[in-house]
Structure 1
Amino acid sequence: MLTLPQIRSRLAEAAAAALRGDRPVLDETASWLASVTARELLRIDDGARQFRCEGPALGQAQGWTDEVLARPFPVVAVLACMHPNGYLRERAVRALAASRDAISDRALVVRVTDHVGVIREAAVREVLRRRTLDHADHVVPLLHRIEQRGRGSEVMAQYLRVLVAEHGDATVWARLRGSADRDLRRTAFRHSFDSGLLGLPDAVELLPAERDHVVRRRLVEVVAGSAPPDVIAGVLLRDRSAEARTAALVKLTAAQLDPADVELLLLDSSVLTRLWARRRWQEMGREPAVVYAASARSTATPVVRARAYLGLAETGAAVERQEVVALVRSAELPLRKAGLSLLRGRATAEDVPLLLALVAGDHSRVARLAGEVLLGGTGLWTPADLAPLKAAGEPELRRRAWWIHRRRGGWEAVIADLELLGDPDPRLAGQGRQRDLPMYSRPTDAQQRRITALLATAPVDHHQRRFIAFAAGLPDPAP
């Protein structure tokens, strides 16, 4: 998405090309305006008509003569209809009425929001004449976005009425369900199910191939809400989305479920799915911890074993600390992550070197988990233990050390930020400038000495330096 200055610069180049008849630039502009989303096109129009001291982005209105508007490039009239000058926009709308291509359709729809009544009424009349399904592909996404605004919000309902009268309800909404515009497509699916145009058989057929998570949620609701138990089990229990699998477990009773399906879902990737699978498994008179223990110590894949260990912890079953540490040392990444999750709150001082080594490792997720374990036992280590990481050559390792140090909270967070301000990487150093001073607490003597030393060299202004010193109970620093 372009910034507003970038939009204005691009429009200025396009306007200059329109005035001199530069076809390559105009073709490129037409492709740009035809490819942007409905939301972005409205934003471009707003940017084109905003007042700026340097003048309109599209140049002075006097330059847009009848000869310019008569050029055989529809994009010229499209640009003119975004000009701040109302008389020029009115002439451009008349020029666009003679064109039937996609970019003209979109430009006319934008003008149904115009604050000038004459322009708005002319644009609405012309838009309502464009009733083919191809026109609808260009018109409706913009009208759907405009419907959420003030001016022009009523045109969406008007256009749908004339479109349905021309082609029929089922044809129109089937076309809209295939729209490339994400928001319109979601609305079309919601309307189709609410109005009865689509039903359970359609939901069952569409669900496996659907990629949009909002539409999928609607399809899952339809299947779970109205399908018989065997269909729910066959369609949702084996669906790729955790939402569908969980919905099936919620909807079906233990008597309606196959134990083999539930046992498989005990080891699901979703925490919520595992929770409901355990409930149904217990309702069947079985113990989830038995399945988890057997799977965790089996020859299954590392991913399955890791989920089994997490499932054991979720049931409240104890996993020996020696076994947890072995997982943390495992060469398999899923098992290592599971071990770190289980070690949280159970680490000892002898685990600190291993955890610091993992923080400095190649896997960012493992590093984050190891850092969280360290933060769960701050009494086991001191900020001095992070010194090797803070002196590392890689900025990412220094960032991890700062993140862990800062998460200790209190005045240690301030010290971590002041240290980071001196980092040789400018982007990393910039993260140390967002600090909140602790309220109603004073730093220890050691912290005061460290803050004094850092304030002497930290690249902060004198006002900020005095503020930190005052909050820390230190003497007023010299300018």
Structure 2
Amino acid sequence: MLTPSQIRQRLSNAAVAAMRGDRVALAETTAWLTAVTARELLRIDDHARRDRYEGPALGESRLWKRKVLASPQPVVAALAALHPDGYVRERAVRSLITSADPVSDRVLAIRVSDHVGVISELAVREVLRRSTVEHAEHIVPLLRRIERWERGSEVLAQYLRALAAEYGEAEVWARLRNSADHELRRVAFRRSFDSGLLGLTDAVRSFPRERDQIVRRLLIGVITDAAAPEVIAGVLLRGRSAESRALGLVKLTAAQLDPADVRRLLVDRSVVVRLWARQRWQEMGHDPATVYAAVARSTAEASVRARAYTGLVETGTTIDRPEIVDLVHSAELPLRKAGLSLLRGRAVAEDVPSLFRSVADAHSRVARLASEVLAGSPQLWSLADLAPLKAAAAPELRRRAWWIHRHRGGWEAVIADLELLHDPDPRLAALGRQPVLPMYFQPTDPQKLRLTDLLSAGPTDRRLRLSIAFAAGLPDPELCRTVRSD
């Protein structure tokens, strides 16, 4: 979505192109106004007609002469129809009536809500005349949004009646269900089910290939309300979305479920699905932990085994530390990530070297998990252990080192931020500009020395230096800097 200034600049450039007859620029403008969503096009219209001190985005009214509007490019009249001057808009609408181009459809649909009566009457009459399914694809998305407004709100109902009279309601809504406008497509599906044009069979057939989350949720509602248990199980429990699998488990009782389906869903990717699968598995008289333990130590795919270990933790089962360490050193990435997750709060000093190696791992998720283990166990490592990462050539490794150091908290977090200000990478240095000062306690003597060095070396603004120095009980850093220079 473009910013207001970007919209105004594009409109200004398009107006210049219209005056010069620049075909290449006008073709780009046509593509822009045809491709944007209905919501964005109404936003463009709003910015085009808004008064500003520098003048209209589309230029002065006197520039939009009849010779300009007579251009064979429909986008010229379409631009003029967005002008704040009502006389320009009226002439532009009369010109657009002679064009069947998609951009003409869209702009005429906007003008049905015009506050100038002559313009809105012309636009309404022409829009209602364009009652074909081809025109409807461009017009209805805009009329549906205008329906919420005071002016032009009645046109959508009139237009839909005209379409239905010409093609039949079933054909109209079938075409609108394939609209490129997502919001219109959702409305079309809802209207089709509410009016009985679509039913359970259609929902079951459409669900597996449906990508839109809102439409998919509508289909799920139809299926869960009306389908037989075996249909719900066959469609929802094997759906791509976690929402469908969870709702299938919620809707069906343990007696209606196939144990094989529930066992499979015990190691689902979704936390909610696993939760409901465990509930149904227990209602069937089985222990989820037994399944998790068997899968975790099986020859199944690494990702499935990793989820089984997660499931064991979710059931409250304790996993022995040697097994966790084996996972951390596994050659399989999913198992390594599972091991690092399980190691939180259970790391010991001998794990520190391998954890720091994992922090430097090429896989960001592995590095993040290892960093979290170290940040959660600061008593196991020293700043000397962190020094190689802080001196690394790659900015990303230095950022990870800063993050771990900062999580020691207190004055160490302030020191970490001040150190980062000296980083040669400006994007990385920017992360340290807002240190949070601890309250109610002062730094240790070694921390005071480090703070003094960092504050005297800068680069921080004077107010921040004084704030940190005052909170830490240090002398004015400006004096320290003068003494150093002497």
TM value normalised by structure 1: 0.93
Question: Does 2:403 align with 1:398?
Answer: no
Separation in structure 1 between the aligned mates of residue 458 and residue 140 of structure 2, nearest angstrom: 57
More displaced 10-residue stretch of structure 1: 148-157 or 397-406:
148-157
Aligned to 1:341: 341
Partner of 2:132: 132
Alignment correspondent of 2:415: 415
**Deviation digits for residues 112-134 of structure 1, max 9, x if unmatched?**
34444443443333323321111
Superposed CA offset, 1:188-221 (max 9, x none): 2223223333221111000011111221122122
Q: Structure 1's 374 and 57: CA in aligned 2 closer, same or farther, altered over 3 A?
A: same
Q: How far 1:105 sits from its partner (Å)?
A: 0.8
- The residue number in structure 2 matching 1:307 is 307
**Mapping for residues 246-325 of structure 1, pairs under 5 Å:** 246-325=246-325
Between the aligned partners of 1:209 and 1:224, the Cα distance in structure 2 is 18
- CA distance in 1: counterparts of 2:476 and 2:51, whole angstroms: 48
Classify 1:450/1:283 alpha carbon distance in 2 versus 1 (closer, same or farther; 3 Å): same
Tell me the residue number matched to 2:353. 353
The Cα shift of 1:334 comes to: 0.6
Q: Decide which moves more: 28-37 or 375-384.
A: 375-384
Once the two structures are TM-superposed, the CA of residue 25 in structure 1 deviates from its matched residue by 2.4
Question: Counterparts in 2 of 1:57-72, with a 5 A limit?
Answer: 57-72=57-72
Q: Which secondary structure state, in structure 2, belongs to the residue aligned with residue 478 of structure 1?
A: helix
**In the alignment, residue 418 of structure 2 is paired with which amino acid?**
L
Q: Distance in 1 between matches of 2:116 and 2:469?
A: 59
* Aligned counterparts of 2:171 and 2:315: Cα–Cα separation in 1: 52
Q: How many residues align?
A: 479
Q: Which moved more, 1:371-380 or 1:334-343?
A: 371-380
Aligned match of 2:186? 186
- Confirm or deny that 1:222 pairs with 2:222: yes
Residue equivalent to 1:239: 239
Task: Find the residue that maps to 2:112 and give its secondary structure.
Answer: helix
**What letter matches 1:62 in structure 2?**
R
2: CA distance, partners of 1:68 / 1:323: 78
Report whether the alignment pairs 1:477 with 2:477.
yes
Name the stretch that deviates more: 25-34 or 49-58: 49-58
Moved more, 137-146 or 304-313: 137-146
Q: Would the alpha carbon gap of residues 413 and 194 (structure 1) be closer, same or farther in structure 2, given more than 3 Å must change?
A: farther
| Residues in 2 aligned to 1:356 and 1:130: alpha-carbon distance in whole angstroms | 68
Residue 149 (structure 1) shift: 5.3
Q: Which amino acid aligns with 1:329?
A: H
- Decide whether aligned partners of structure 1 residues 323 and 158 sit closer, same or farther in structure 2, where only a CA change above 3 A counts: same
Partner of 1:38 in structure 2? 38
Instruction: Give the residue type in structure 2 aligned to 1:208.
Output: P
**Alpha carbons of 1:146 and 1:427: their partners in 2 closer, same or farther (altered >3 Å)?**
farther
Q: Percent identity?
A: 69
Displacement of 1:104: 0.4
Offset at residue 174 of structure 1 (A)? 1.6
Distance 2:131 2:44 in 1: 26
Amino acid at match of 2:414: V
Partners in 2 of 1:37 and 1:177 — Cα distance?
Answer: 16
1:425 aligns with 2:425: yes
* Offset at residue 102 of structure 1 (A): 0.7
State the distance in 2 between where 1:186 and 1:456 align.
Answer: 61
Residue 196 of structure 1 is matched in structure 2 by 196
CA distance in 1, matches of 2:132, 2:438: 65
Q: Write the letter of the residue equivalent to 1:211.
A: R
Q: Which moved more, 1:193-202 or 1:114-123?
A: 114-123
| C-alpha deviation, 1:295, in angstroms | 1.4
Helix, strand or coil for the counterpart of 2:477? coil
2:447 & 2:165 partners in 1: Cα distance? 77
Aligned partners of 1:379 and 1:248: how far apart in 2?
47
Residues 435, 52 of structure 1: CA spacing in aligned structure 2 closer, same or farther, 3 A cutoff? farther
Return the offset for 1:164.
3.4
* Corresponding residue for residue 386 of structure 2: 386
Report the alpha carbon displacement of residue 171 of structure 1 after superposing the two structures with TM.
2.2
Counterpart in 2 of 1:82?
A: 82
Render the CA deviation track for 1:419-447: whole Å, top value 9, x for unaligned.
Answer: 22221111222222244434455444433
Q: Structure 1: which 5+ residue stretches go unaligned?
A: none
**Structure 1 residue 84, shift from structure 2 partner:** 2.5
| CA distance in 2 between partners of 1:459 and 1:154 (Å) | 63
Which one is further off, 174-183 or 361-370? 174-183
The change in CA–CA distance for 1:372 and 1:113 in structure 2 (over 3 A counts) is farther
Amino acid at match of 1:344: R
Q: Distance in 1 between matches of 2:432 and 2:398?
A: 12
Q: Distance in 2 between matches of 1:164 and 1:11?
A: 37
Equivalence for 2:94: 94
State the alpha-carbon separation in 2 of the partners of residues 111 and 407 from structure 1: 57
TM-score (norm 2): 0.92
Q: 1:217 to 1:408 in 2, by over 3 A?
A: farther
Query: C-alpha displacement at 1:151, in angstroms?
Result: 4.8
The farther-off stretch of 152-161 and 200-209 is 152-161
Aligned residue for 1:334, secondary structure, equals helix
Q: Which residue in 1 is equivalent to 2:6?
A: 6
Q: Hey, what's the Cα distance between the residues in 2 that align with 1:367 and 1:89?
A: 59
